[in-house]
Amino acid sequence: MNSRERLLTALNHKEPDQVPLDLGGNQTGIHHIAYKKLLDHYGFDEEIHIMDVVQQLAAPSESVLQQLDIDTRYIRPGQFGPAPELAEVKAGYWGFTDGFGVTWAMPGEKPGEGLYCDIVHHPLAEMDYEDLDRYDWPDGKDPAPFHGLRDYAMQLRRETDYALVSGITGVIFEYCWYMRGFERLYMDMIEQPRYVHKLLEHTLQYWLDFLETFLGEVGDLLDVICVGDDVGMQSGPLFSPSIYRSIVHPYQKTLYAFIKKNTNARLWYHSCGSIAGYIPDLIESGVDILNPIQISAKGMAPEILKNKYGGDIVFWGGGVDTQKLFSSGTPEEVRRQVSYLMNIFKPGGGYVFNTIHNIQADVPVENLVALWDAAKENRHYSSS
């Protein structure tokens, strides 16, 4: 099979010749420091381009993607435009303010010395409900992020056999706390839920406008479109099922129905943490693929997830524990875990290999090489 056939077969819950391998998305990427280690190991002399300024992720080059046998290529809004420039936003912090008014920054004596950006300003932290409609909300219809995307996607579709995946293109709930502040928003859910609904109305409208243009440009060329909202933590869900279903889920369903109406691409949903209890809701709302499969979180045992939901949803990720083992374990421990997890998830198809979230800066190069070697060694199906 070629890469596109391989991925689509897996997404149809059938066994391809090999498990598809993925690298390069906003939640399936690699920190530029770890990426530099790979470049040095393989002897590639190339400039590193940052594709996600907040997470400081590198855009993997075609040379690296081919070296690792990666089956996916990403079509990211804004990838042909200028990246945000880091300026000093306060003493010792370098960052930028995004279209929603959220300021992100990293510490350092000069730009780029930190590992990633955190939020240092929540623009709605003190704003009253009555003022929300007058806030300077970003324009989802702005065509700038989509310049050049169709030509690029058409070239990949015509000249290669890779599967085409979008960058992250729908973050409804998370942006509410980015703007309001995490603690304040969760208090709002109890004290003034209408505030949260108003925020969700605005973030939903932004993404509906954004996706109308994006899918009009490349919706017919994509194999997978990525959305996400973190709704889990290490020990359980971030809020009760009743709050999720009454406040957050209806807006997600509206967005996902719009996506399904405007593209045949499969819907890929990202949430960190313990979200097993939400999987039926996600399936019901049209989600086809779940990422990153955080097996270290409560209730996320891979065997149970595969047995219970493997026929209904594709697992994308779950390849190695990036919280602890990948950075602190030995290459042999990495190999063993990759083999163990891949052989749980791959039977019957419905699996795409990647790490559990992005590859972090402190991963030793020996472990990086062990990961991809083990993935390639264990990706074959017995019938192939």
Decide: 173 and 228 in contact? Cβ < 8 Å: no
**Long-range own/partner contacts, residues 112-116 (CB < 8 A, 24 or more apart):** 112/86, 114/56, 115/31, 115/33, 115/56, 115/361, 116/31, 116/54, 116/55, 116/56
Decide: 249 and 198 in contact? Cβ < 8 Å: no
Determine the pLDDT at residue 383.
57
Q: What is the mean pLDDT of residues 202-207?
A: 98
Residue 219 pLDDT greater than 50, yes or no = yes
Q: What is the mean pLDDT of residues 262-275?
A: 98
What's the DSSP call for residue 130? G
Q: What is the mean pLDDT of residues 264-292?
A: 97
Mean pLDDT, the chain, integer: 96
d(CA 358, CA 368): 12
Determine the pLDDT at residue 111.
87
Q: At what angle do helices 193-218 and 182-191 cross, to 10 degrees?
A: 120
Question: Residue 333: which of 371, 304, 379, 294 has the closest Cα?
Answer: 371
Determine the pLDDT at residue 82.
87
**Sheet architecture: strand order including 163-168:** 72-75, 163-168, 224-228, 266-270, 289-291, 314-316, 351-352
Fold of domain 3-83+124-378: TIM Barrel (3.20.20)
d(CA 309, CA 144): 39
Determine the pLDDT at residue 384.
47
CA distances in angstroms from 151 to 22, 62, 341, listed in the order given = 23, 18, 38
Q: What is the largest CA-CA distance in the chain?
A: 62
Question: Which residue type occupies 383?
Answer: S
d(CA 370, CA 326): 10
d(CA 12, CA 311): 10
pLDDT tens digit string along 9-48? 999 999 999 999 999 999 999 999 999 999 999 999 999 9
Determine the pLDDT at residue 83.
86
Q: What is the pTM of this model?
A: 0.97
Q: What are the residue ranges spanned by the domains of the chain? A: 3-83+124-378
Question: Residue 302: which of 353, 254, 359 has the closest Cα?
Answer: 353
- Cβ partners under 8 Å of residue 202, min gap 6: 132, 135, 137
pLDDT tens digit string along 220-262? 999 999 999 999 999 999 999 999 999 999 999 999 999 999 9
Assigned token pair, 110: 């000069």
* 270 strand-pairing partners: 228, 291
pLDDT tens digit string along 140-179? 999 999 999 999 999 999 999 999 999 999 999 999 999 9
Q: What is the mean pLDDT of residues 356-377?
A: 98
pLDDT tens digit string along 111-120? 888 999 999 9
Determine the pLDDT at residue 112.
85
